[in-house]
Structure 1
Amino acid sequence: MQKLDFLEAGITFIHVANSQLLWDLQRFWQVENVDNFVFSSDGKILHPLKDSLFIGDLGSNIDLNDIFKRQIYKILLAHLDEQSLQQLYRLDSQIKAAVTDVIFTGNLPIQLNQDWAVDRLIKYLEPSVDTVNVTTPYDIINSVLEVMGQLNDKRLPIFSNPMNYLDLAQLRTIAAEVMTQQRSIVFFEKARDEYLTYKLMGGVKMIYIDADFVAFDENRPMI
């Protein structure tokens, strides 16, 4: 098994010549149970679905609210103090009392769940990500990184085919930003001739996997 080391702070490009291997690698981050792949950090086995965030192709329909839904609920619940919880409990009781009154008045064959669950109330409010207008693939990457920082989301963000949509200046800017944030991100690409053009950028590491599944780290074979 070959080991691929990601930068601790910066962009790790993984260029794959074999189409099936590229598909398998990307699928691993989405379904987890793909043979012959392991995700680890400091010798600890990690779970792709829990410890990474696979965004996919920047040209696809990317919904930040769907991506961060669970994190939004989690951080909101964590920030509720005792006073806020008491206020929400009173409001929840008032809502249930009003609906119960309608049921009794109309003699309706309906009953309500009277259990108090703040998480259900938060979901009912449908909180969403507050971001600037996202109009370009570059905006998507920046928004993902910004929201992850604000939510203290430590997952590894993974993008596919970014250089179909980014220019070199944008790549340099992203590399500088993630180095400043001390964050690691991964870009998957189908191998292309021009990958050497940006292999020497600061904050960018290149891993090339040839058609025979041999991996080269910055043009050096990885044993």
Structure 2
Amino acid sequence: MNITFYPYQPFSVQNKKITVCSTSSPEVYTKLIIGMSGAQETVKFSNDQYELMDYSKAVIWGGDVAAINLNHLFQNRLIKKFAADLTDQQRQKLTQLDSEIRLTILDAAFMYELTLDVNQEWDLQRMIKFYNLQFSTVVQHDPYGIIESIVQTAVELNESKIITLINVSHYLSINQFNELVRLVATLNVKLFLIEFSEEVKSDQYQKCYYYHIDNDYVEWRYE
């Protein structure tokens, strides 16, 4: 896929290789974030044949790592996939447990001299939501764990959109970033990072598609 930020040539975003765009221009930085977050159409998206794509079909906006809520991003879709992927044996076990819970509630209801009943309709997804299948709080407090969970979940969901994060360098050590590069190299996932940086950091991002736009709006490309 491609991200086009006029007047520059498109930035390439592909599976298995991180794309980083850094800039020392506050204006460029702001416009990139506004466009990638979907607030305004300051950037355009296209597939590998340069056919234009709608924002909704092109981007998953994560934003700043510290503000990411993994459950907000993925929980509903993950529950749906989880329910679909259960084996017949697992479904039967859950059905049995659900029946036992309903019977226990009805038995307990006999303490009142009232005619009470419970809903007999069984909805697997609703049951999973009730028990709140979610990402662990341990992961939510670990910047690398958050990013790793995002890319791994995207793979589980067969997600082809561009995952976009900002200022990842503020949260990861160089070793952690290199580990992220190695992880993404094994996955069919597209990851686009926006960084504010006064300097060109081609050495740090030598295993990525790297683009830098300086204060004079001059672009440096390392592909």
Runs of 4+ with >6 A deviation: 108-111
Is residue 19–residue 210 contact of structure 2 (8 Å, CA) maintained in 1? yes
Q: CA deviation at 1:89?
A: 3.2
* CA distance, structure 2, for counterparts of residue 76 and residue 38 of structure 1: 33
Match of 1:88 among 79, 91, 94: 94
Q: CA deviation at 1:216?
A: 2.8
Q: CA deviation at 1:137?
A: 3.1
Aligned to 2:3: none
Match of 2:11 among 4, 25, 30: 4
TM-score, normalised to structure 2, is 0.71
Match of 2:167 among 155, 161, 178: 161
Aligned to 1:188: 194
TM-score, normalised to structure 1, is 0.71
- The one-letter code matched in structure 2 to 1:56 is G
- The one-letter code matched in structure 2 to 1:89 is T
Aligned to 2:209: 205
* CA distance, structure 1, for counterparts of residue 86 and residue 31 of structure 2: 41
Q: CA deviation at 1:12?
A: 0.9
* CA distance, structure 1, for counterparts of residue 116 and residue 54 of structure 2: 43
Aligned to 1:145: 151
Is residue 161–residue 190 contact of structure 2 (8 Å, CA) maintained in 1? no
* CA distance, structure 1, for counterparts of residue 114 and residue 84 of structure 2: 38
Aligned to 1:39: 45
- The one-letter code matched in structure 2 to 1:187 is L
User: Deviation digits for residues 125-159 of structure 1, max 9, x if unmatched?
Assistant: 22233697676534433343344445554443322
Aligned to 1:116: 122
CA change 1:164–1:84 in 2 (3 A) is closer
Match of 1:70, SS state, is helix
Give ranges in structure 1 of 5+ residues lacking alignment. Answer: none
Give the length in aligned residue pairs.
215
User: Deviation digits for residues 157-209 of structure 1, max 9, x if unmatched?
Assistant: 3221122233434333322332233533111012422434435x1x2122234
* CA distance, structure 2, for counterparts of residue 44 and residue 73 of structure 1: 32
Match of 1:140, SS state, is helix
Is residue 23–residue 197 contact of structure 2 (8 Å, CA) maintained in 1? yes
Aligned to 1:127: 133
1:216 maps to 2:219: yes
C-alpha root-mean-square deviation of aligned residues, in Å? 3.7
Q: CA deviation at 1:77?
A: 1.0
Is residue 13–residue 206 contact of structure 1 (8 Å, CA) maintained in 2? yes
CA change 1:216–1:110 in 2 (3 A) is farther
Match of 1:13 among 20, 28, 45: 20
* CA distance, structure 2, for counterparts of residue 45 and residue 110 of structure 1: 58
* CA distance, structure 2, for counterparts of residue 54 and residue 149 of structure 1: 16
Q: CA deviation at 1:57?
A: 2.0
